[in-house]
Structure 1
Amino acid sequence: MKLLHPSLEDLTPRHIELFWRYQVVRTGVDFSAAMCFLVGSAFFFFASLSTPADWLFLVGSILFAVKPTIDLVRSAHLRRLPTTSSPAAGDLR
């Protein structure tokens, strides 16, 4: 299995389960980043909230940077698991 490009025919149920767990985390990060930008944008309508708006934009940007990190960690984790074509495919733990 190549990094960031798995061979779909070699995936086990454990691969699929872990993929979706990482996807839930990635979606949560994506939603949080979007909310930071949305609320931060609304805060800029009020001069007294410009500093919190700046912080929300910074946090949103950091969250967007976390997404590819999640992808890399997920890919590395899935790559370490035995596939259906590997000798240890019966032992999925």
Structure 2
Amino acid sequence: MKLFDHRNRERNADTRRVYALFEIAHTAVDFGAALCFTLGSVLFFWKRYETEAIWLFTIGSVLFMVKPSLRLAREIKLWRMGKLDRLAEREQCDG
């Protein structure tokens, strides 16, 4: 198996659970980023809230950067789980 192979997430109950947890985290980060950008946009209507708006845009940008990081971490985790499964199968065959 290789990274970003859809079969990695359907291998067993553990891989489906890991995939689901990462999808929940990804969705939460998506909502957080959207909320930051929306609030930041509204705050820019008032000059006195400009600093807060800038901070919200910065936080939203960081959250958008987290999204691909979560996807890569998920795929590496699923790939490693597959390597462990294959190693265990090999050990059972040898033993």
Q: Which TM-score bucket, shorter chain as reference?
A: 0.7 to 0.9
Residue type at the aligned position of 1:50: E
Q: Deviations over 1:18-72 (max 9, x none)?
A: 0000111111111000000000000001110011101100110110000000000
Measure how far apart 1:11 and its partner are.
Answer: 1.1
Contact 1:32 1:60 in 2 (8 A): yes
Cα distance change on mapping 1:63 and 1:10 into 2, 3 Å: closer
Number of residue pairs aligned between Structure 1 and Structure 2: 88
Contact 2:4 2:75 in 1 (8 A): yes
Cα distance change on mapping 1:88 and 1:39 into 2, 3 Å: same
- In structure 1, the residue matched to 2:46 is 46
- Structure 1 gap ranges (5+): none
TM-score (norm 2): 0.82
* Larger relative helix fraction: 2
TM-score (norm 1): 0.84
- In structure 2, the residue matched to 1:24 is 24
Query: How well do the aligned residues superpose, as a CA RMSD in angstroms?
Result: 2.1
- In structure 1, the residue matched to 2:67 is 67
Structure 1, 50-59 or 9-18: larger mean CA deviation: 9-18
Identity of aligned residues (%): 36
- Structure 2 gap ranges (5+): 90-95
Contact 1:4 1:71 in 2 (8 A): no
